[in-house]
């Protein structure tokens, strides 16, 4: 089962991960990663915008690649867009597999690609206003290991 969602409103990652786990009886392992808006450095808000004709199809293609590469029983990718406040979830990735290593690696693979090779534009708001955020060198290096 591949479940990919792009949302413009808040979501409950625990509820999503629980339902995802329950939908895969007999799994050997499930790994879930939740990314949240960091409030460090005076960040007041984060905004993600995207190009609709590419974003969801690109996320689905990434999920399919991960499912095949890691022989998954299922994968869930949920990503937010719009304005978010510190502590709000941005992304939830869950992978279910017969063995834990495949689930862990698949989750890591998806996140590395979402961080550096995705269809989102990010900017953060601090006291002085909004500034655009580009992927860091570490993000690109993490993706290259795959």
Full domain range(s) for residue 56: 2-144
Sequence-ordered alpha helix ranges (H) in the chain: 13-22, 52-69, 100-116, 137-144
* pLDDT (tens digit per residue) in 41-97: 999 999 999 988 899 999 999 999 999 999 999 999 999 999 999 999 999 999 999
Q: What is the largest distance, in Å, between two alpha-carbon atoms of the chain?
A: 52
For 128-146, the pLDDT digits (tens) are 899 999 877 787 777 778 8
pLDDT at 121: 92
Tokens coding 141? 């290096």
CA 36 to chain CA centroid, Å, is 10
Q: Indicate which CATH number applies to the domain containing 120.
A: 3.90.1170.40
Domain count, the chain: 1
For the chain, give me the number of helices (H) and strands (E)? 4, 8
Give pLDDT tens digits for 6-43: 999 999 999 999 999 888 888 889 999 999 999 999 99
Using a cut of 0.85, tell me whether the model's pTM lies above it.
Answer: yes
d(CA 139, CA 124): 18
């Amino acid at each position: 089962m591949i479940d990919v969602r792009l949302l413009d409103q808040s979501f409950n990652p625990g509820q999503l991960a629980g339902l995802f786990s329950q939908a895969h009886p007999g799994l050997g392992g499930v790994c879930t990663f939740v990314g949240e808006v960091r409030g460090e450095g005076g960040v007041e808000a984060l905004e993600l915008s995207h190009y609709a004709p590419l974003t969801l199809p690109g996320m689905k293609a990434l999920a399919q690649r991960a499912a095949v590469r890691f022989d998954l029983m299922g994968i869930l990718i949920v990503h937010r867009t719009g304005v978010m406040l510190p502590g709000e979830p941005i992304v939830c990735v869950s992978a279910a597999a017969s063995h834990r290593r495949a689930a862990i690696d698949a989750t890591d693979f998806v996140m590395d690609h979402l961080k550096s090779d995705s269809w989102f534009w990010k900017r953060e708001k601090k006291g002085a206003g909004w500034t655009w955020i580009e992927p860091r060198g570490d993000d690109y290096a993490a993706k290259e290991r795959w």
